């Protein structure tokens, strides 16, 4: 129910969304300013009548006008759309302002005032209401500005942490070139690309994508990186060669799948693709619900898609995550991209897709890895608007 409510909030006009999350003390300043500003209607109507209305009636109309304006703000900002139509109907068919004025006059029998005194009272009241409204609006704007400045500083700090957690990766081993880059859609993203050198001289490169983006995904991404590095550097199961290299990736995914549910909300999960790059040139892969891995063969100049039907990490208690061996010859290249690259849409609604990535790889696979990554990301940005984090991991088997 809470999720449905927040989805409904996001459909409201952006002008009013922030009022849902403003602290009550700050919101009261805004509503007080609106109230005082619209009390002017009651005093203005008395001026138009020559200042002859009883003061009690003028005050009743002013009070109603201010409260009615506050009610409009609350309904437009917080309540369902049908309430707006009820308010419109109320304004048309139930003019409460007139009823309140008539009731006040009949119930209290206030004396009429001299025209000069009434005009003086209405004009002075307008001046006081405007000054009071200006004061409260200034206090609200100042409070909102301080809050926005504080949030801006926090986002800048989060962006700095993001750059520390997910730096641009460029590494060469005796057999492989490795390059990874991530462009978050906001200051903080949920994509992760990382490389870890094992104690035996082998290397593990992996790419993970936390569901969603923003601060919440970024926090879980940091937890996943910590868990992955801890598992990879604890020395257990990392020394194996041959088929044991794939088993190590299966064990890593199983550990992450066990840890993540303990540190996340129930709806969140992570996709994962890991590569074990052995010092002798052997390559193993493990995948958990991630997009296809593209293997470009230099000898045949062809591309093979590698996919694994598997659940993501942290969603269900999966018994085993499969892994396999990838035969990479000298000059071959492996490319892995997150959904933020593949799901970018053109103006006509067509996704860039795995086919678009394959087309670029066929033409530019021989480029240096940083240039290839920049070309892919630039092409995707021109193709359509970025709505999700965009991350690439590229590995090439060295020719020498």
| Secondary structure string (H, E, C) spanning the chain | CHHHHHHHHHCCCHHHHHHHCCCHHHHHHHHHHHHHHHHHHHHHHHHHCCCCCCHHHHHHHHHHHHHHHHHHHHHHHHCCCHHHHHHHHHHHHCCHHHHHHHHHHHHHCCCCCCHHHHHHHHHHHHHHHHHHHHHHHHHHHHHHHHHHHHHHHHHHHHHHHHHHHCCCEEEECCCEEEEEEEECCCCCCCEEEEEEECCCCCEEEEEEEECCCCHHHHHHHHHHHHHHHHHHHCCCCCCCCCCHHHHHHHHHHHHHHHHHHHCCCCCCCEEEEEEEECCCCCEEEEEECCCCEEEEECCCCEEEEECCCCCCECCCCCCCCCEEEECCCCCCEEEEECHHHHCCECCCCCECHHHHHHHHHHHHCCCCHHHHHHHHHHHHHHHCCCCCCEEEEEEEECCC
Show the domains of the chain with their CATH numbers.
2-159 (no CATH), 167-397 (3.60.40.10)
- How confident is the model over 40-82, as pLDDT tens digits? 998 998 888 888 888 888 888 899 899 988 888 888 776 777 7
**Which has the minimum average pLDDT: 150-164, 256-270, 286-300, 349-363?**
150-164
313/317 Cα distance (integer angstroms): 9
For the entire predicted model, the pTM comes to 0.69
169/377 Cα distance (integer angstroms): 15
Question: What is the Cα 396 distance to its own chain's centre?
Answer: 33
Region 269-282: mean pLDDT is: 95
Q: Which tops the pLDDT comparison, 214 or 33?
A: 33
Beta-bridge partners for 192: 208
Q: Which tops the pLDDT comparison, 208 or 13?
A: 208
* 1 confidence band (pLDDT: 50, 70, 90): very low
* Average pLDDT of the chain to the nearest whole number: 85
* 239 confidence band (pLDDT: 50, 70, 90): low
- How confident is the model over 291-312, as pLDDT tens digits? 999 999 999 999 999 998 889 9
Residue entry with tokens 């506050």: 70
Quick count: other Cβ atoms within 10 Å of Cβ 164?
Answer: 9
pLDDT of residue 180: 97
pLDDT of residue 271: 95
**Which has the minimum average pLDDT: 7-16, 126-135, 209-218?**
7-16
pLDDT of residue 127: 94
Distance between start and end Cα atoms, the chain: 59
In this prediction, what percent of the chain has a pLDDT beyond 70? 87
CA nearest to 219, candidates 284, 265, 151: 265
Given a contact cutoff of 8 angstroms between Cβ atoms, the answer to whether 387 and 186 are in contact is no
pLDDT of residue 58: 87
pLDDT of residue 2: 39
């Amino acid at each position: 129910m809470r999720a449905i409510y927040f989805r409904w909030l996001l459909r409201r006009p952006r002008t009013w969304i922030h009022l849902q999350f403003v602290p009550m003390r700050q919101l009261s300043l805004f509503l007080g300013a609106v109230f005082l500003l619209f009390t002017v209607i009651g005093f203005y109507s008395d001026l138009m009548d020559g200042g002859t209305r009883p003061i009690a009636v003028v005050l009743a109309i002013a009070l109603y006008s201010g409260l009615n304006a506050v009610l409009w703000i609350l309904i437009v900002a917080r309540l369902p759309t049908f309430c707006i139509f009820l308010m419109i109907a109320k304004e048309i068919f139930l003019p409460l302002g007139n009823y309140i004025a008539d009731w006040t006059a009949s119930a209290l029998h206030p004396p009429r005032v001299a025209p000069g005194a009434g005009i003086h009272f209405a004009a002075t009241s307008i001046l006081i209401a405007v000054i009071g409204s200006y004061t409260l609006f200034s206090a609200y704007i100042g409070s909102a500005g301080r809050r926005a400045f504080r949030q801006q500083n926090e986002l800048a700090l989060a962006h700095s942490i993001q750059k520390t957690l997910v730096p641009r990766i460029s590494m060469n081993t005796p057999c492989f070139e490795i390059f990874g880059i991530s462009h978050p859609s906001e200051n903080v993203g949920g994509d992760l690309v990382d490389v870890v050198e094992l104690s035996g001289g082998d290397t593990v490169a992996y790419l993970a994508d936390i569901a969603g983006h923003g601060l919440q995904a970024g926090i879980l991404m940091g937890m996943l990186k910590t868990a992955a590095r801890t598992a990879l550097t604890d020395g257990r199961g990392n020394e194996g060669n041959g088929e044991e290299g794939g088993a190590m990736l299966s064990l890593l995914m199983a550990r992450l799948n066990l840890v993540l549910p303990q540190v996340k909300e129930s709806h969140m999960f992570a996709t994962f693709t890991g590569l074990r790059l052995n010092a002798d040139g052997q390559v193993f892969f493990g995948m958990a619900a991630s997009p296809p891995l593209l293997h470009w063969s230099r000898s045949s100049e062809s591309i093979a898609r590698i996919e694994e039907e598997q659940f993501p990490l942290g969603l269900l208690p999966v018994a085993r995550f499969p892994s396999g061996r990838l035969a990479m010859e000298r000059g071959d290249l492996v490319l892995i991209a997150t959904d933020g690259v593949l799901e970018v849409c053109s103006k006509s609604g067509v996704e860039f897709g795995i086919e678009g990535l394959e087309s670029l790889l066929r033409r530019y696979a021989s480029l240096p890895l940083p240039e290839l990554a920049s070309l892919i990301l630039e092409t995707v940005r021109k193709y359509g608007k970025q709505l999700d984090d965009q991350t690439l991991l590229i590995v090439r088997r060295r020719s020498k």
